[in-house]
Structure 1
Amino acid sequence: MEEFSINNVGVKVGLEIHQQLATNKKLFCNCMPIESDEYSIKFQRKLRASKSELGEFDPAALFESTKSKTIMYYANHESSCLVEQDEEPPHELDEDARKITLIISSALKSNIFSEIYPMRKTVIDGSNTTGFQRTMLISQGGFYNAGDIKIGIQSICLEEDAAKILGEEGSIRKFGLERLGVPLVEIATDPFEVELTEIKKIALSLGRILRSTKQVKRGLGSIRQDVNVSIKDGGGVVIEVKGVQQLDQLEKVVEYEAKRQHGLLKISKKIQESNWNFSKDDKKDITELFSKCKSKIIQNAIKKNQKIIAISFKNMAGMFGFSPYEGIRLGREVAELVRFFGIGGVFHSDELPNYGIEESDLEELKKYSEIKENDAFLILASPQEKINTIVDQIILRIEHIKDHGIPIDTRLATQAGETKFLRPRPGAARMYPETDIPPIIITKEELLEAEKNIPKSWDDSIKGLETKYKINPQLAEQIFDSRYIGLFEKIIEKININPTFVASVLCSSITNLERSGLDSNLLKNEEIMKSFQLLEAGKIAKESIEIVFENIMAGKSKTIEEAMKNASIQSVNKDDLEKIIEEIVEKNEEIIKNQKERAVGPLMGIAMKELRGKASGEIINNLLLKYIKKKIQNLK
């Protein structure tokens, strides 16, 4: 097994940034995009692939249709209407979304078209009730600078966001419609060749340009990075990796995908050397043969009336387990494909005997299927109706790897920074004109207005925050890049409170709680605002804020008041506070005798255990010093 070096394969990367726009309604209706888990409407659909205007099927749509899923939709009247349910034509394009997209295009020096044509992009995975996503090309060309690196812009589109996946149960896939139709700008960069460490900076710089408009949404799920990866010897194949949620993942994803592609080229050469070709006789039903096999996986499949199938591969012994680089194997490629169809997995000859399949089972199989020593084989269990489709797709994939090297896929980023098969790459047949919406004419006045509203640069925005709120550059950068910038400015505007303290709570305290595994989505903006109002009114101490946030983010409370009650936080009046401090000093006379005024340290720890969240640390410290000095005086 070789050590992979990304510097030797000539990697090119392109980014696609999808950013939700901060509008008051959806792109083609008047519904508000309100997140909710309460659904009063429920309906189901079956989506199928249809031909394009030229009579062609899109390969991605055809492939998705092989899964034959029933789609269950959940909605509520607050966030969706008949447009989302595909029972009513789309309304006029949202004016705010149109204006914001023109400003973004102008800020990126992109050439805006005078006529915009809405299109339908075929999507039949269920994330759109219509079976397509509405999208429109706004502009092409342009650039921006990420430090010293100039990044070209390929295209800027305005489109609808997809529905929110709620989960899958067997053949039913569930979606919530609150997010469907939310305006989304998609920015695709030109491909670039840079050091891996620069990719995050390039994505961050583009995100900052978008945030500088102050007209894009913030928070989890409001921005998403897809990344296109290709290598020098890949024959022009570009792999799109979807769903990179964290910028820190980009570097890992690009490195893994480059390694996978280069590894597949090596696997391709190996298969070519084997002279393998598939024939129909290489597929055998071995359900009866394996009826007494001790493998729990096999027995469970037989109990469900599934078929056990073996596929033999002439002269390919060792091929499924061959690993040119760590983690890259033909067996893994096949397993990913099989899981797409809802099948748990596949056994290959290079990992057997194992998983309860014994040597005796393999001997019988080899005899029955005429498998020789130089041959390889796969064993899989599947419902009868899926078997032919799955076997066809496995063979097509291995044939493609043999003949062309890298299959043209759309892949999904994993939490570990790897990629897994999602679907084949869509083709030109995927896109066709939207017949329900007339062309959109962009006037010269609109272009001039967009030019006037190009936002300040990120650097100028940071300097503005530093000056206006008298906060340090690091904190200004953190609060600007966070989802709380709007809330921060509203708090400072309405409440007489130190901006540095507010920014620290919003950036550091909440982030630290998130790192402990708590959910910041449970902490609503109105509750954060309320906590600072209670602080200003003297009903809560500074030290209490993190305690109540922790309580809410842990799911123990929903409101600040409830969290204060659950965490036993209540303000102590001055007289009671003095009495508690005096008692602490009296009980620890020995420490004061030995340490004099230095006793404030250990006594502060004792006091904070009793008074944490009930009084300011500064006030407690001052009172301790006062009573320690008084005690020292009395001891003389």
Structure 2
Amino acid sequence: MSEYDYDELGLVAGLEIHQQLETATKLFCQCPTELREPEESSRTFTRYLHPTRSELGEIDEAALEESKVDREFEYLAYDSTCLVEEDDEPPHELDEEALETVLEIAQLMDMHPVDQANVMRKLVVDGSNTSGFQRSTLIATGGGIETSEGSVGIEDLLLEEESAQRVEETDDGVRYSLDRLGIPLVEIGTKPDIASPEQALEAAERIGMLLRSTGKVKRGLGTIRQDVNVSIAEGARVEIKGVQSLDDIDDIVRNEVGRQAELVDIREELEKREAAVGEGQDVSEVFEGTDSGVIAGALDSGGSVTAVPLYGFDGIVGREIAPDRRLGTELSDHAKRHGAGGIFHTDELPAYGVTEGEVDALRDAVGAGPEDAVAIVAADTDVAEAAIEAAAERAATALEGVPEETRGANDDGTTRYLRPLPGAARMYPETDVPPVEPDPSGVPEPELLTEKVERYQDEHDLGAGLAEQVAYGRRMPLFEDVVADGIDPTLAATTLESTLTELRRDDVPVENLERGHLETVLSMAEEGDLPNEGVPDLLSTLAREPDRTAEAAAEAAGLGGVDETEVRDAVVEVVERNESQVADEGMQAFSGLMGECMGALRGKADGDLVSELLREEIQKRT
């Protein structure tokens, strides 16, 4: 899809950044915030969720549509799961550590804390919360960040509870894990000041840097999610949920602009054709004896084929509106929400075992001419009827242009339909949690990561590349702590960044290394109980055997330090064994012999000492 003139199209975009906080306990209970493996679950329970009316007696449209899909929600509980997480006990007071962290984040964006923070309930009936709602609290407003294309205002900052983790689809519904439910989450919403895909990416990167500057946010896949709101002048606001990678944001915006522009063109074309959407009807008789496996399978199991005529839609349903996605894909997304596998339509038929004769008969059955299209669904009768109705409703929306809706981000930078945009009826007060009065006076302002990079170069004499790796790395807080405890900064930086990266590339399970492992190994090296050259081997051993102590692993691997006499003896032996080479090459033999010496000492001696003694022994013989 070609690049668009975003100014001409009137692109307006905003971001919602959701970041998990690194706190000791969850937001409304004392349960730990560590993730668990589903296999560790000790029990399960199930729920069915239904929307409730707001304080004004209204029902949120998005929640109402979600509730039309009849699903059972199964939850995996653990030995750490409490009654709050199961929604069998009222929530406790707001976690103070989480509140302090979001106040730090607010300072970094020049935001203004509210006088009183009241917890609200946000209606959610997709099963991601056992209670049927998510608790959310407005903490600060105002503020902004700078990008190369201008300022981007920050609308609000909220403290929320994370949703349950979706594990898998089941025959009856969805299975969730409760380990993630309730982890404190900060949500940062920008104003719609973003005017290009590149600015959207830059703004997200800037906010991400500010969040990591606190040293109090979780790192890793799934700990940060970006939602993007996009619209063009003739389109509509679309909220795109769940962008996992920062690098995808510009593609998401670019593809959504293209999708809306194509939908606007489709609307104009349909207006010219005076297009309309007909009524759904049963066309099972058309496909008696069909060779289509999908259709025959539905009919043989007692199901039916339903169809809807789309007058004036010929060639439009199959029109591409985003990379590898067509208007027909949009219709299919809506049909799938009701249990159908998808739709067939005449812009792509004959195909999939459907013959040209069956296509002609289908058109005759629903009164469609050559300028029209027909969409069909083959499934259980109830599913087929609901699915074709949903597809017809989406086709009717194409006559109006771009629908306001919530969409999900796909891995390829495209999006799919999820549900309508939520409305004001979605939020109502939480009466079980007392309000709090945020006090930013005692909250320190964190040092920015960009400032850390400069400080690491100036104070610790790290190179620019290594300083940036450490500052932006996941183990930055550990680096700061061990250096404060007296560990050499260069040793700490190279170990936490370069060494661990190299071990990971060699398939060493470095994820098994805990903070205590790293602190002990660095301390052993600093105190001379372990040569620097032995650090990779010891970390590798501990990663594969994390239950062992660093001291025991070092002793078993023979990685303890040796004194200078033993080092000299090993060096002399290597030099004498290569006496003729030393005589012929002199100091030029140093490089080759150095490697041999280190191999003979098997990482037991510091490289600087070996180098010094080797030079002495070579000089004695030349």
Which TM-score bucket, shorter chain as reference? 0.7 to 0.9
Is contact 2:278–2:308 with CA below 8 Å preserved after alignment?
Answer: no
How far apart, in 2, do the equivalents of 1:348 and 1:583 lie? 82
Q: Does 2:9 align with 1:9?
A: yes
Is contact 1:263–1:328 with CA below 8 Å preserved after alignment?
Answer: no
Is contact 1:66–1:389 with CA below 8 Å preserved after alignment?
Answer: no
Q: 2:518 aligns with which of 528, 534, 552?
A: 528
Q: 2:404 aligns with which of 408, 413, 423?
A: 408
Give matches, 1:247-396, under 5 Å: 247-280=246-279, 282-286=280-284, 289-290=286-287, 292-302=289-299, 305-323=302-320, 326-396=323-393
Q: 2:461 aligns with which of 470, 475, 496?
A: 470
- Number of residue pairs the alignment of both structures matches: 617
Change in Cα spacing, 1:527 to 1:173, as seen in structure 2 (3 Å) is farther
Change in Cα spacing, 1:355 to 1:153, as seen in structure 2 (3 Å) is same
> What letter matches 2:383 in structure 1?
K
Q: Does 2:497 align with 1:499?
A: no
**CA offset digits 1:279-306 (Å, max 9, x no partner):** 32x43242x5435333344445456554
How far apart, in 2, do the equivalents of 1:503 and 1:62 lie? 53
Structure 2 partner of 1:418: 414
How far apart, in 1, do the equivalents of 2:505 and 2:340 lie? 35
Determine helix, strand or coil for the equivalent of 1:174. strand
**CA offset digits 1:568-619 (Å, max 9, x no partner):** 9653886999999899889999988997765666677788899887776667
Change in Cα spacing, 1:470 to 1:315, as seen in structure 2 (3 Å) is same
How far apart, in 2, do the equivalents of 1:398 and 1:269 lie? 14
How far apart, in 2, do the equivalents of 1:505 and 1:348 lie? 59
How far apart, in 1, do the equivalents of 2:51 and 2:269 lie? 36
How far apart, in 1, do the equivalents of 2:208 and 2:309 lie? 50
Q: Give the drift of 1:205.
A: 2.3
Give matches, 1:179-194, under 5 Å: 179-194=180-195
> What letter matches 2:382 in structure 1?
E
Structure 2 partner of 1:430: 426
How far apart, in 2, do the equivalents of 1:314 and 1:527 lie? 69
Structure 1 partner of 2:241: 242
Is contact 2:277–2:392 with CA below 8 Å preserved after alignment?
Answer: yes
Structure 1 partner of 2:83: 82
Q: 1:60 aligns with which of 50, 59, 62?
A: 62
Give matches, 1:179-218, under 5 Å: 179-218=180-219
Q: Does 2:75 align with 1:73?
A: yes
Q: Does 2:571 align with 1:571?
A: no
Structure 2 partner of 1:479: 470
Change in Cα spacing, 1:602 to 1:135, as seen in structure 2 (3 Å) is same
How far apart, in 1, do the equivalents of 2:575 and 2:587 lie? 12
Is contact 1:163–1:175 with CA below 8 Å preserved after alignment?
Answer: yes
Is contact 1:2–1:325 with CA below 8 Å preserved after alignment?
Answer: no
Change in Cα spacing, 1:435 to 1:608, as seen in structure 2 (3 Å) is same
Structure 1 partner of 2:24: 24
Deviates more, 1:424-433 or 1:334-343: 334-343
How far apart, in 1, do the equivalents of 2:234 and 2:542 lie? 52
Q: Give the drift of 1:218.
A: 3.7
Change in Cα spacing, 1:102 to 1:54, as seen in structure 2 (3 Å) is same
**CA offset digits 1:313-349 (Å, max 9, x no partner):** 2232111122366545212222333344454332222
> What letter matches 2:289 in structure 1?
K
Change in Cα spacing, 1:514 to 1:123, as seen in structure 2 (3 Å) is farther
Is contact 1:6–1:255 with CA below 8 Å preserved after alignment?
Answer: no
Structure 2 partner of 1:91: 92
> What letter matches 1:232 in structure 2?
A
Determine helix, strand or coil for the equivalent of 2:276. coil
> What letter matches 2:559 in structure 1?
S
Is contact 2:332–2:391 with CA below 8 Å preserved after alignment?
Answer: no
Change in Cα spacing, 1:545 to 1:378, as seen in structure 2 (3 Å) is farther
Determine helix, strand or coil for the equivalent of 2:428. strand
How far apart, in 1, do the equivalents of 2:299 and 2:75 lie? 33
Deviates more, 1:252-261 or 1:340-349: 340-349
Q: Does 2:400 align with 1:399?
A: no
Is contact 1:2–1:324 with CA below 8 Å preserved after alignment?
Answer: no
> What letter matches 1:275 in structure 2?
E
> What letter matches 1:51 in structure 2?
R
Is contact 2:93–2:434 with CA below 8 Å preserved after alignment?
Answer: no
How far apart, in 2, do the equivalents of 1:613 and 1:253 lie? 49
Is contact 1:267–1:324 with CA below 8 Å preserved after alignment?
Answer: no
Q: Does 2:439 align with 1:449?
A: no
Deviates more, 1:390-399 or 1:461-470: 461-470
Q: Give the drift of 1:558.
A: 4.8
How far apart, in 1, do the equivalents of 2:174 and 2:595 lie? 54
> What letter matches 1:60 in structure 2?
A
> What letter matches 2:432 in structure 1?
D
Deviates more, 1:259-268 or 1:290-299: 290-299
Determine helix, strand or coil for the equivalent of 1:248. helix
> What letter matches 2:481 in structure 1?
K
Give matches, 1:541-552, under 5 Å: 542=532
Q: Give the drift of 1:226.
A: 1.7
Change in Cα spacing, 1:351 to 1:484, as seen in structure 2 (3 Å) is same
Is contact 1:581–1:623 with CA below 8 Å preserved after alignment?
Answer: yes
> What letter matches 2:77 in structure 1?
A
> What letter matches 1:330 in structure 2?
L
Q: Give the drift of 1:70.
A: 0.9
Change in Cα spacing, 1:326 to 1:486, as seen in structure 2 (3 Å) is closer
Structure 1 partner of 2:36: 36
Is contact 1:527–1:559 with CA below 8 Å preserved after alignment?
Answer: no
Change in Cα spacing, 1:208 to 1:351, as seen in structure 2 (3 Å) is same
Determine helix, strand or coil for the equivalent of 2:135. strand
Is contact 1:527–1:560 with CA below 8 Å preserved after alignment?
Answer: no
How far apart, in 2, do the equivalents of 1:609 and 1:373 lie? 80
Deviates more, 1:327-336 or 1:139-148: 139-148
Determine helix, strand or coil for the equivalent of 1:440. coil
Q: Give the drift of 1:60.
A: 1.4
Structure 2 partner of 1:166: 167
Is contact 2:278–2:311 with CA below 8 Å preserved after alignment?
Answer: no
Q: Give the drift of 1:57.
A: 2.0
How far apart, in 2, do the equivalents of 1:370 and 1:586 lie? 99
Is contact 1:26–1:94 with CA below 8 Å preserved after alignment?
Answer: yes
TM-score by length of structure 2 reads: 0.85
Q: Give the drift of 1:478.
A: 2.7
Percent identity for Structure 1 against Structure 2: 35
Change in Cα spacing, 1:534 to 1:454, as seen in structure 2 (3 Å) is closer
Change in Cα spacing, 1:28 to 1:592, as seen in structure 2 (3 Å) is same
Change in Cα spacing, 1:311 to 1:144, as seen in structure 2 (3 Å) is same
Change in Cα spacing, 1:615 to 1:310, as seen in structure 2 (3 Å) is farther
> What letter matches 1:11 in structure 2?
L
Determine helix, strand or coil for the equivalent of 1:351. coil
> What letter matches 1:249 in structure 2?
D
Change in Cα spacing, 1:550 to 1:258, as seen in structure 2 (3 Å) is farther
Q: Give the drift of 1:185.
A: 1.9
TM-score by length of structure 1 reads: 0.83
> What letter matches 2:186 in structure 1?
V
Is contact 1:112–1:139 with CA below 8 Å preserved after alignment?
Answer: yes
Structure 2 partner of 1:142: 143
How far apart, in 2, do the equivalents of 1:154 and 1:617 lie? 55
Determine helix, strand or coil for the equivalent of 2:122. strand
Q: Give the drift of 1:388.
A: 2.8
Unaligned runs of at least 5 residues, structure 2 = none
